[in-house]
Structure 1
Amino acid sequence: MPEFSYGPVELILVGFDGERPGPEIVDALRDVIDAGTVRLLDLLFVTRSPEGALTVLELEDAGDAIGLGEVVLEATGLASFEDIEELAAEIPAGSSAALLVIELAWAKNLASKLAAGHGAVLSTERIPAPVVNEVLAALAD
Protein backbone atom coordinates (compact mmCIF):
# COMPACT_ATOMS: atom_id res chain seq x y z
CA MET A 1 0.00 0.00 0.00
CA PRO A 2 1.41 3.43 -0.86
CA GLU A 3 2.09 5.42 2.27
CA PHE A 4 1.52 9.11 1.72
CA SER A 5 3.55 11.65 3.67
CA TYR A 6 0.62 14.07 3.51
CA GLY A 7 -3.12 13.82 3.17
CA PRO A 8 -5.37 16.19 1.24
CA VAL A 9 -4.61 19.88 1.72
CA GLU A 10 -7.07 22.76 1.87
CA LEU A 11 -6.63 26.49 1.75
CA ILE A 12 -9.02 28.22 4.12
CA LEU A 13 -9.44 31.98 4.32
CA VAL A 14 -10.70 33.17 7.72
CA GLY A 15 -11.76 36.81 7.76
CA PHE A 16 -11.75 39.11 10.77
CA ASP A 17 -11.94 42.80 11.61
CA GLY A 18 -8.76 44.76 12.15
CA GLU A 19 -5.22 43.62 11.46
CA ARG A 20 -5.01 40.79 14.00
CA PRO A 21 -7.31 37.89 14.81
CA GLY A 22 -8.98 38.07 18.21
CA PRO A 23 -8.35 35.56 20.99
CA GLU A 24 -11.38 33.47 20.00
CA ILE A 25 -9.95 32.89 16.52
CA VAL A 26 -6.47 32.15 17.88
CA ASP A 27 -7.98 29.67 20.37
CA ALA A 28 -10.00 27.99 17.60
CA LEU A 29 -6.81 27.50 15.56
CA ARG A 30 -4.96 26.09 18.55
CA ASP A 31 -7.84 23.70 19.34
CA VAL A 32 -7.87 22.00 15.92
CA ILE A 33 -4.09 21.87 15.76
CA ASP A 34 -3.79 20.39 19.27
CA ALA A 35 -6.56 17.86 18.58
CA GLY A 36 -4.64 16.52 15.59
CA THR A 37 -7.66 16.92 13.32
CA VAL A 38 -5.58 18.97 10.93
CA ARG A 39 -1.90 19.61 10.48
CA LEU A 40 -1.07 23.26 9.92
CA LEU A 41 1.31 23.41 6.98
CA ASP A 42 1.40 27.17 6.50
CA LEU A 43 -0.31 30.27 7.90
CA LEU A 44 -0.31 33.73 6.38
CA PHE A 45 -2.00 36.94 7.46
CA VAL A 46 -3.38 39.17 4.73
CA THR A 47 -4.60 42.74 5.30
CA ARG A 48 -6.39 44.87 2.72
CA SER A 49 -5.97 48.58 3.38
CA PRO A 50 -8.94 50.94 2.99
CA GLU A 51 -7.37 51.89 -0.36
CA GLY A 52 -7.24 48.22 -1.43
CA ALA A 53 -3.51 47.49 -1.09
CA LEU A 54 -2.57 44.04 0.23
CA THR A 55 -0.03 43.31 2.95
CA VAL A 56 0.96 39.68 3.56
CA LEU A 57 2.73 38.58 6.74
CA GLU A 58 4.04 35.11 7.37
CA LEU A 59 3.56 33.44 10.74
CA GLU A 60 7.26 33.89 11.59
CA ASP A 61 6.80 37.66 11.24
CA ALA A 62 3.47 37.97 13.06
CA GLY A 63 3.18 34.90 15.29
CA ASP A 64 4.45 36.40 18.53
CA ALA A 65 2.24 39.50 18.27
CA ILE A 66 -0.83 37.34 17.58
CA GLY A 67 -0.14 34.73 20.23
CA LEU A 68 0.88 31.91 17.89
CA GLY A 69 4.65 32.27 18.14
CA GLU A 70 5.07 28.71 19.41
CA VAL A 71 3.26 27.14 16.44
CA VAL A 72 5.53 25.10 14.18
CA LEU A 73 4.56 24.98 10.51
CA GLU A 74 5.01 21.69 8.70
CA ALA A 75 5.49 22.70 5.04
CA THR A 76 5.51 26.36 4.12
CA GLY A 77 5.28 27.61 0.56
CA LEU A 78 2.32 25.57 -0.69
CA ALA A 79 0.17 28.67 -1.19
CA SER A 80 1.50 30.51 -4.22
CA PHE A 81 1.32 34.26 -4.66
CA GLU A 82 -1.42 33.63 -7.24
CA ASP A 83 -3.41 31.63 -4.64
CA ILE A 84 -3.03 34.45 -2.14
CA GLU A 85 -4.14 37.09 -4.64
CA GLU A 86 -7.14 35.03 -5.76
CA LEU A 87 -8.32 34.33 -2.22
CA ALA A 88 -7.58 37.88 -1.07
CA ALA A 89 -10.22 39.14 -3.50
CA GLU A 90 -12.71 38.03 -0.81
CA ILE A 91 -11.21 40.35 1.83
CA PRO A 92 -13.10 43.64 2.12
CA ALA A 93 -11.13 46.89 2.20
CA GLY A 94 -10.03 47.77 5.72
CA SER A 95 -10.10 44.21 7.06
CA SER A 96 -7.88 41.15 7.26
CA ALA A 97 -7.82 37.38 7.01
CA ALA A 98 -5.72 34.42 7.97
CA LEU A 99 -4.90 32.04 5.14
CA LEU A 100 -4.54 28.57 6.57
CA VAL A 101 -2.94 25.80 4.55
CA ILE A 102 -4.04 22.67 6.34
CA GLU A 103 -3.61 18.99 5.79
CA LEU A 104 -6.70 16.97 6.55
CA ALA A 105 -4.90 14.56 8.82
CA TRP A 106 -7.89 12.25 9.16
CA ALA A 107 -7.96 11.73 5.37
CA LYS A 108 -4.31 10.69 4.96
CA ASN A 109 -4.98 7.00 5.68
CA LEU A 110 -8.08 7.04 3.47
CA ALA A 111 -6.06 8.50 0.58
CA SER A 112 -3.39 5.82 0.99
CA LYS A 113 -5.99 3.03 0.97
CA LEU A 114 -7.78 4.47 -2.05
CA ALA A 115 -4.50 4.64 -3.96
CA ALA A 116 -3.65 1.05 -2.99
CA GLY A 117 -6.99 -0.05 -4.44
CA HIS A 118 -6.32 1.96 -7.61
CA GLY A 119 -9.01 4.40 -6.62
CA ALA A 120 -8.86 8.15 -6.61
CA VAL A 121 -10.96 10.99 -5.34
CA LEU A 122 -12.34 12.57 -8.50
CA SER A 123 -13.93 15.61 -6.93
CA THR A 124 -14.69 17.17 -3.59
CA GLU A 125 -16.89 20.03 -2.60
CA ARG A 126 -17.24 21.63 0.76
CA ILE A 127 -20.50 23.04 2.03
CA PRO A 128 -19.74 25.76 4.61
CA ALA A 129 -21.06 25.09 8.11
CA PRO A 130 -23.38 28.13 8.17
CA VAL A 131 -25.07 26.91 4.99
CA VAL A 132 -25.47 23.34 6.30
CA ASN A 133 -26.98 24.59 9.54
CA GLU A 134 -29.32 27.01 7.79
CA VAL A 135 -30.60 24.37 5.36
CA LEU A 136 -31.11 21.73 8.06
CA ALA A 137 -32.86 24.24 10.34
CA ALA A 138 -35.21 25.18 7.49
CA LEU A 139 -35.96 21.50 6.81
CA ALA A 140 -36.75 20.92 10.49
CA ASP A 141 -39.37 23.70 10.53
Structure 2
Amino acid sequence: MDDQAGVDQTADRELGPIDYIVVEWTGKQPTGEALPHLIDLIDRGIVRLIDIVFITKDTDGTVARLEINSLGADFAIFDGAATSLLDDSDLAEAAAVIEPGSSAAVVVWENAWAAPFATAVRNGGGQLVASGRIPVDALLAQLDAADAATPAT
Protein backbone atom coordinates (compact mmCIF):
# COMPACT_ATOMS: atom_id res chain seq x y z
CA MET A 1 0.00 0.00 0.00
CA ASP A 2 1.39 3.41 -0.86
CA ASP A 3 1.39 6.41 1.46
CA GLN A 4 -1.36 8.16 -0.47
CA ALA A 5 -3.73 5.24 0.05
CA GLY A 6 -3.05 5.38 3.79
CA VAL A 7 -3.75 9.10 3.91
CA ASP A 8 -7.05 8.68 2.06
CA GLN A 9 -8.20 5.91 4.41
CA THR A 10 -7.34 7.98 7.47
CA ALA A 11 -9.14 11.06 6.14
CA ASP A 12 -12.41 9.10 5.84
CA ARG A 13 -12.10 7.37 9.22
CA GLU A 14 -13.56 8.54 12.50
CA LEU A 15 -10.67 9.31 14.80
CA GLY A 16 -10.70 9.68 18.55
CA PRO A 17 -8.20 11.61 20.65
CA ILE A 18 -4.63 10.30 20.56
CA ASP A 19 -2.75 9.78 23.83
CA TYR A 20 0.71 8.66 24.77
CA ILE A 21 2.24 7.44 28.00
CA VAL A 22 5.71 6.58 29.21
CA VAL A 23 5.70 3.81 31.82
CA GLU A 24 8.92 3.21 33.74
CA TRP A 25 10.18 0.06 35.42
CA THR A 26 12.89 1.26 37.77
CA GLY A 27 15.91 -1.01 37.83
CA LYS A 28 14.36 -3.73 35.70
CA GLN A 29 12.53 -4.69 32.54
CA PRO A 30 8.75 -4.98 32.23
CA THR A 31 7.23 -8.22 33.48
CA GLY A 32 4.18 -8.34 31.23
CA GLU A 33 1.72 -8.23 34.13
CA ALA A 34 -0.14 -5.24 32.62
CA LEU A 35 -0.30 -6.67 29.09
CA PRO A 36 -3.60 -8.56 29.46
CA HIS A 37 -5.28 -5.31 30.49
CA LEU A 38 -3.96 -3.43 27.45
CA ILE A 39 -4.89 -6.31 25.16
CA ASP A 40 -8.39 -6.36 26.65
CA LEU A 41 -8.82 -2.64 25.90
CA ILE A 42 -7.69 -3.24 22.33
CA ASP A 43 -9.87 -6.33 21.86
CA ARG A 44 -12.95 -4.49 23.13
CA GLY A 45 -12.32 -1.58 20.74
CA ILE A 46 -11.84 0.93 23.53
CA VAL A 47 -8.37 1.88 22.30
CA ARG A 48 -6.49 1.30 19.07
CA LEU A 49 -2.78 0.78 19.51
CA ILE A 50 -0.84 3.09 17.22
CA ASP A 51 2.72 2.53 18.40
CA ILE A 52 4.61 0.83 21.19
CA VAL A 53 8.35 0.99 21.80
CA PHE A 54 10.36 -0.33 24.72
CA ILE A 55 13.57 1.41 25.72
CA THR A 56 16.24 0.97 28.35
CA LYS A 57 18.49 3.55 29.97
CA ASP A 58 21.79 2.24 31.31
CA THR A 59 23.28 3.58 34.53
CA ASP A 60 25.62 5.73 32.41
CA GLY A 61 22.62 7.29 30.65
CA THR A 62 22.96 5.40 27.36
CA VAL A 63 19.54 4.78 25.81
CA ALA A 64 18.67 1.86 23.54
CA ARG A 65 15.55 0.29 22.10
CA LEU A 66 14.59 -3.08 23.52
CA GLU A 67 13.60 -5.57 20.87
CA ILE A 68 10.17 -7.06 21.52
CA ASN A 69 11.52 -10.59 21.17
CA SER A 70 14.04 -9.92 23.96
CA LEU A 71 11.25 -9.25 26.47
CA GLY A 72 9.75 -12.74 26.49
CA ALA A 73 6.86 -14.65 24.98
CA ASP A 74 4.16 -12.46 26.59
CA PHE A 75 5.31 -9.51 24.51
CA ALA A 76 5.31 -11.38 21.17
CA ILE A 77 1.78 -10.11 20.47
CA PHE A 78 3.29 -6.65 19.90
CA ASP A 79 5.92 -7.85 17.42
CA GLY A 80 5.26 -5.79 14.31
CA ALA A 81 2.83 -3.47 16.09
CA ALA A 82 5.19 -0.50 16.00
CA THR A 83 4.30 2.00 13.28
CA SER A 84 7.52 4.00 13.42
CA LEU A 85 5.49 7.04 14.45
CA LEU A 86 7.83 7.42 17.41
CA ASP A 87 11.20 8.63 16.18
CA ASP A 88 14.57 8.97 17.89
CA SER A 89 13.75 12.45 19.20
CA ASP A 90 10.52 11.16 20.79
CA LEU A 91 12.42 8.32 22.45
CA ALA A 92 15.13 10.71 23.66
CA GLU A 93 12.40 12.87 25.22
CA ALA A 94 10.90 9.80 26.90
CA ALA A 95 14.32 8.67 28.10
CA ALA A 96 14.88 12.06 29.71
CA VAL A 97 12.11 11.37 32.23
CA ILE A 98 13.19 7.88 33.27
CA GLU A 99 15.87 7.02 35.78
CA PRO A 100 19.22 5.51 34.78
CA GLY A 101 19.14 1.73 35.12
CA SER A 102 15.47 1.58 34.13
CA SER A 103 13.33 0.42 31.25
CA ALA A 104 10.23 2.03 29.82
CA ALA A 105 7.40 1.49 27.40
CA VAL A 106 6.29 4.37 25.22
CA VAL A 107 2.73 3.68 24.09
CA VAL A 108 0.63 5.71 21.66
CA TRP A 109 -3.05 4.89 21.24
CA GLU A 110 -6.26 6.28 19.82
CA ASN A 111 -9.17 6.55 22.22
CA ALA A 112 -11.47 4.70 19.84
CA TRP A 113 -14.41 4.94 22.26
CA ALA A 114 -14.42 8.73 21.73
CA ALA A 115 -14.13 8.65 17.93
CA PRO A 116 -17.83 9.27 17.12
CA PHE A 117 -17.98 12.21 19.57
CA ALA A 118 -14.67 13.69 18.40
CA THR A 119 -15.65 13.35 14.75
CA ALA A 120 -19.03 15.01 15.39
CA VAL A 121 -17.29 17.90 17.17
CA ARG A 122 -14.87 18.36 14.23
CA ASN A 123 -17.69 18.06 11.67
CA GLY A 124 -19.61 20.72 13.61
CA GLY A 125 -16.69 23.13 13.41
CA GLY A 126 -15.45 22.51 16.95
CA GLN A 127 -11.89 21.93 17.99
CA LEU A 128 -10.07 20.79 21.09
CA VAL A 129 -8.46 23.81 22.73
CA ALA A 130 -7.30 22.31 26.03
CA SER A 131 -6.72 18.91 27.51
CA GLY A 132 -5.20 17.57 30.70
CA ARG A 133 -5.00 14.85 33.25
CA ILE A 134 -5.75 14.82 36.94
CA PRO A 135 -3.30 12.57 38.78
CA VAL A 136 -5.09 9.72 40.58
CA ASP A 137 -3.35 10.56 43.88
CA ALA A 138 -4.58 14.16 43.67
CA LEU A 139 -8.16 13.02 42.98
CA LEU A 140 -8.11 10.55 45.88
CA ALA A 141 -6.71 13.20 48.24
CA GLN A 142 -9.44 15.64 47.18
CA LEU A 143 -12.16 13.02 47.68
CA ASP A 144 -10.76 12.15 51.11
CA ALA A 145 -10.73 15.84 52.04
CA ALA A 146 -14.32 16.24 50.83
CA ASP A 147 -15.41 13.18 52.86
CA ALA A 148 -13.69 14.55 55.97
CA ALA A 149 -15.42 17.92 55.57
CA THR A 150 -18.88 16.36 55.15
CA PRO A 151 -20.68 16.17 58.50
CA ALA A 152 -21.94 12.73 59.47
CA THR A 153 -25.72 12.43 59.62
Q: TM-score range by the shorter chain?
A: 0.7 to 0.9
State the AA in 2 paired with 1:112: T
Q: 1:49: which partner in 2?
A: 58
The answer to whether residue 102 in structure 2 is matched with residue 95 in structure 1 is yes
RMSD: 2.3
Q: Which has the higher mean CA deviation after the structures are superposed, 16-25 or 111-120?
A: 16-25
Q: Secondary structure at the match of 2:76?
A: coil
Residue 138 of structure 1: CA displacement? Answer: 2.9
Residue 66 of structure 1: CA displacement? Answer: 5.2
Quick one: distance in 2 between partners of 1:27 and 1:36?
14
Note the residue ranges of structure 1 that are not aligned, 5 or more in a row. Answer: none
- Residues 84-126 of structure 1, C-alpha deviations (whole Å, 9 max, x = no match): 2112211101111110011111121111101111111111111
State the AA in 2 paired with 1:93: P
After superposition, the Cα gap between the structure-2 partners of 1:131 and 1:77, relative to the gap in structure 1 and judged at 3 Å, is farther
Quick one: distance in 1 between partners of 2:41 and 2:101?
28
Alignment partner for residue 21 of structure 2, among 12, 21, 24?
12
Instruction: Tell me which structure has the larger Cα radius of gyration.
Output: 2
Q: 1:76: which partner in 2?
A: 83
Percent identical among aligned pairs is 34
Q: 1:30: which partner in 2?
A: 39
Residue 17 of structure 1: CA displacement? Answer: 3.3
Q: How many residues align?
A: 137
Alignment partner for residue 118 of structure 1, among 113, 125, 130?
125
Instruction: Note if contact 1:7-1:109 (Cα within 8 Å) is conserved in structure 2.
Output: yes
Query: TM-score by structure 1 length?
Result: 0.81
After superposition, the Cα gap between the structure-2 partners of 1:90 and 1:117, relative to the gap in structure 1 and judged at 3 Å, is same
